[in-house]
Homo-oligomer: A and B are copies of this chain.
Amino acid sequence: MKKNITMVNVSDKPITQRRAVAMAEVSMRPETLRIIMQGKVKKGDVLAVSTLAGILAAKKTKDLICLCHPIDFSHIDISFSFKKNLLLIRAEVSGAQRTGFEMEALTAASVAALNVYDMCKYLDKSMSIEVKLLEKEGGKSGKFKRK
């Protein structure tokens, strides 16, 4: 008898170069965004904390995503942009493995955004976070590019 919960067997998959890009959009009041950009948030440098939190979270993906394989990546890059009331956090993860980095990129972007929330929640608790996969390449399922 087997419980209906399974990790995919990737033993037969070849090791190929893979890459995934995720985006987290933190929606906030323009005033909050201004305080972040002016570096005046009380707990300190929001983008530095967010970047490091994202990088560290990517390295913990296998512990957070139950059915994820334990795999190591060769590179992660976190960058930011602003659009009206949005702080955009882009996380790109790449490396040569038997399975893709979608979850590493999404985890990095999500946790980077949660750290923004943590540092700014004294200003506004109604911020919200939206996370999605932007791109993915490498592996049998081929390319994905969000429209």
| Nearest CB of B to A135, in Å | 10
B1 touches A79 (CB 8 A): yes
Offer 11 A-B interface pairs, CB within 8 angstroms, sorted by A.
Answer: A1-B80, A2-B78, A3-B78, A6-B42, A7-B77, A9-B75, A48-B48, A65-B114, A69-B72, A106-B117, A129-B130
Q: Say if the beta carbon of A30 comes within 8 Å of chain B.
A: no
Closest beta carbon of chain B to A128's beta carbon, Å: 4
Q: How far is the CB of A44 from chain B (nearest CB, A)?
A: 4
Count chain A residues whose beta carbon lies closer than 8 angstroms to a beta carbon of B. 82
| Binary interface encoding of chain A residues 33-75 relative to chain B, with 1 for a CB under 8 A from any of its CBs, else 0 | 0000001001111011111110111011011111111111111
Instruction: Point out the residues of chain B lying under 8 angstroms from A70, CB to CB.
Output: 59, 72-73
A134–B114 Cα distance when bound, in Å, is: 15
Whether, in the assembled complex, A118 has its beta carbon less than 8 Å from a beta carbon of chain B, the answer is yes
Contact check, A67 vs B55: say whether CB atoms are below 8 A apart: yes
CA distance A51 to B94 in the complex (A): 27
